[in-house]
Each structure stands twice: as structure tokens, then as C-alpha cells.
Structure 1
Amino acid sequence: MAVTVFSFPDSDAWLHRLTADFQDRVDESRKSGRTFHVALSGGSTPAPLYRRWATLDLPWEAIDWWIGDERWVPVTDPQSNEGMIRRTLGAGPGDRLRLRSWHASEDPEEAARLYDKALREALGDPPAFDLVLLGLGEDGHTASLFPGSAALEERRAYAVANPHPGGGPLRLTLTYPCLDAARSVWFLVTGGAKAKVVERLLASDSSIPAARIRAASQRLYWVPNG
């Protein structure tokens, strides 16, 4: 699928445009009276964005925040995506962040099954997110869909446990059937080190996991010198 590119000279411009576009999407959803469902990306790239969003006058009671993937570590661990999101997006006043945690069980396989169940109950079958935010690794991975990993071939479940081929903590991730059903997918990418993999994404190089997403609307918010 074609990816629409938005390129920015610096991180400030990137943050400003992403914030404006996000507010527009939320406003559109509110006009229809629906809850806005968004899946968040982890890692370090979106942290400044989430800090900015924490300061906004959003209809927090009408937004359900999900997490696109997670490392199977305690939320207090520095590697936890949920922990990062709670420290940034959840840093505003009050208990207003309706965040769907992966940690609904002490067993990761069961936790993934319960996330799948929650997705179906809240968003339908297939679950149609209003917006999914994704990162892009230098190896072409996105969420926790890594080259050569078993989750790339999953066609029935919307959330699975997926070991990282290189080792490290077990990952939990949304799958292609879930990502493909999203109304909009935004890749958030900064830094010159990502230039080659960005080229491969835009060329629809299906050898990298990120380029295998089939959502109808896909955008790349890209800071080459970030």
C-alpha cells in the first residue's frame, strides 16, 4: 500500500504537525459521538509527542488508549512501553488516561489472548482502530513484528506473544490482521540512521515487516535530521 510522506526540517515542526493532525482526528470522532480508539507506539521516539499531548485539552473521557506492543517485563522496568506511556502521556493532572494494559495475566500467552478478546469486544471483528501509531526499526520491524519471527504469519489472532529472534524479553504484539483493519496508520520516524529503511518502506519492499501492512490509509511522519 502507498504511504503518504510528511517530511519535517526538525523535531519541533514534527511535533506541531502530529499534534494538530491528532487533534483533528479526535474532533472528527467526537462529532460522531464515538469513543476514539488509538494504539500507541513504544520506544523513545514518541515520548516527546506524548508529553506534549499530556498538556492538551482533549476529551480524555472519550479516548481509549491501547499499546501496539510490549516487552514482557514489569511496568516499572525501563524497557516497558506501558511504563513510558504512563510517565509521559499520563503525566497530566488526575487519573484521566484510559490505557489498556497488556498485563491482564501473569502468563504472557494468556495475556495476549485476553488482549485479543478485549480488542474484539471493544472494536469488533476485525478490530478497527481509528489510529495506530508505529515506529520503524533499522531492520524494518514495526511493533514487535520482527524479520523471521512467527507472528509475521499469524492470520487469525489479533494479539500474540512473539519472541524476539535476537533474544531478550518476550514481546507481545498486535498482528497484521489487526493493523490492516485500522482506519489510519502513522509511522513516526526520526534520524538519518533510518533513511535506508524508510526508502524500503516507501518502495513497498515486502521483505521488511513494516511494508507488509495493508491498512488503506498510511502516513510517514519523517524527520531525516532528527
Structure 2
Amino acid sequence: MASVAVFSFPDPDAWLDRLTADLWTRLDENRKARRPFHVALSGGTTPIPLYRYWAKLDLPWETIDWWIGDERWVPVTDPRSNEGMIRGSLGVGPGDRFRLRSWHGSEDPSEAARLYDRALREALGDPPVFDLVLLGVGEDGHTASLFPGSPALEEREAYAVANPAPGGSPLRLTLTYPCLDTARSVWFLVAGRSKEKIVERLVASDARLPAARIQAGDQRLYWSQNG
């Protein structure tokens, strides 16, 4: 199991400042290496303040390709859509300079996942190597749309698949371990003291948690305790 470094912050502002400083460090490394920056974004509500903050920055938008770690199979206009949330928070600042890779390349979810897989291979290589992946952690330990007991946990070849969600929720599309494991950096974004136990289990590499099964070498958890 790969280890996860934990960075804990007393308030959301300190959380935002550190994440932003670390983003600039990653961007500068890529600039020196003269390569584009590929980042997979997390959905949910936790990263919304971060995305809104980044949208106001003078980032090198022309060098950044934004992807989405997972998506609900709903229209982008649906309030549950990760893409809709990302476009409405991060994409509003840079406008036309914002390059986001949508999951919605087909009306069939399995075909849409296959097309995303192909786009990953074409843009990032085989295996694809993200410069940065942002992820959340659910109360059940899921990350992206890799849920406990779901078929995608055992995927070893495809980098993007359709995967059922528990409780009758909409079907999901998600990156898989073969994709996440090769990322240069994986950052878990966590907010609130209610996540304390799941943070402890993740740091302890509890393999029952899908989030703890990622093998990327550089993994960090940024925890805003009062977020």
C-alpha cells in the first residue's frame, strides 16, 4: 500500500492557500520540463470553493488540460453533474481558455467511457500519466466513482469505465486504478471533522476502502477540519 501524507488546516482559508501554493509548484515543474499540465478534477461540493478561487487566478490556462475523475450519467445541466459544477465554478474565470474534457462523447454510457479511455491514451500515453489528480473521499471510503464492492475495483485494463452506484443513484463513469496509480501526484480533498475516522483509516492503508487502494507514489490528503 502507498502511504498518504496528511496536511491538516484549522480553517478553509489556510486550506485554500496551501492547495494553491502547491498547485503553482506543480505548474512550475511542468513549465521547466516544457510539457503541458494534465489534471483530473474531483466532483462533489468540497472542491467548489477551491475551483472558484482558482478561477480568479492568472494561471497559465493555455497549458492546462482539465479532465474529470468521474461523472454521474446525467445531463450536464443536471445539478448532480460534476461537469456542470466544474464549468460553473472553475470555468467561469478563464472563459474560452478553459479546456475541459467532457465524459459526454456518446449517448451510450459504455461507449462514452470507451471514448474517454481512448482520449486518455492519445493525450497522456499508455498508460496515461496525469500530473495531478484531485479526489474526494466518501463516508464509505469510495473515491472518484470506485465504490466498495463495485465491478470497477477489479478493472485492470481499461482506464475509464461505466460503474454502478449504490442506492439506486445514477450510473457513474469513472477513472480506474490503472489510470490513478500512474499519476505523478494524487491529492485527496477533505473538509469537516466528520471525516476524521475515514481519514484515519485511509492513512492506515485500510484496504477495505477503495481510496486506500491507489498505488500512486505521491499521495497527499488536504484536510480542512472546519470546512
Measure, in 1, the Cα distance between the counterparts of 2:93 and 2:189: 22
Alignment of 1:15-30 (within 5 A): 15-30=16-31
Query: Gapped runs of 5+ residues in structure 1?
Result: none
Deviations 1:124-146 (A, max 9, x none): 11100000000000100000000
Q: Partner residue of 1:31? A: 32
Matched position secondary structure for 2:52: helix
How far off its partner does 1:165 sit? 2.5
Measure, in 2, the Cα distance between the counterparts of 1:160 and 1:24: 31
Q: Partner residue of 1:197? A: 198
8 A contact 1:159–1:174 mirrored in 2: yes
Measure, in 2, the Cα distance between the counterparts of 1:193 and 1:34: 39
Q: Partner residue of 2:139? A: 138
Matched position secondary structure for 1:95: helix
Alignment of 1:104-115 (within 5 A): 104-115=105-116
Which structure 1 residue ranges, 4+ long, deviate > 4 Å from structure 2? Answer: none
8 A contact 1:160–1:173 mirrored in 2: yes
How far off its partner does 1:51 sit? 0.4
* Corresponding letter in the other structure for 2:97: R
Matched position secondary structure for 1:82: helix
Query: Gapped runs of 5+ residues in structure 2?
Result: none
8 A contact 2:67–2:100 mirrored in 1: yes
Aligned residue pair count? 226
How far off its partner does 1:223 sit? 1.6
Measure, in 2, the Cα distance between the counterparts of 1:55 and 1:61: 15
8 A contact 1:148–1:165 mirrored in 2: no
* Corresponding letter in the other structure for 1:216: G
- Identical aligned residues as a percent: 79
Measure, in 2, the Cα distance between the counterparts of 1:200 and 1:105: 38
Matched position secondary structure for 1:45: coil
Measure, in 2, the Cα distance between the counterparts of 1:2 and 1:153: 21
Matched position secondary structure for 2:83: helix
RMSD: 0.7
Measure, in 2, the Cα distance between the counterparts of 1:182 and 1:73: 27
Alignment of 1:59-138 (within 5 A): 59-138=60-139
Q: Partner residue of 1:41? A: 42
8 A contact 1:130–1:182 mirrored in 2: yes
How far off its partner does 1:24 sit? 1.3
Measure, in 2, the Cα distance between the counterparts of 1:61 and 1:67: 18
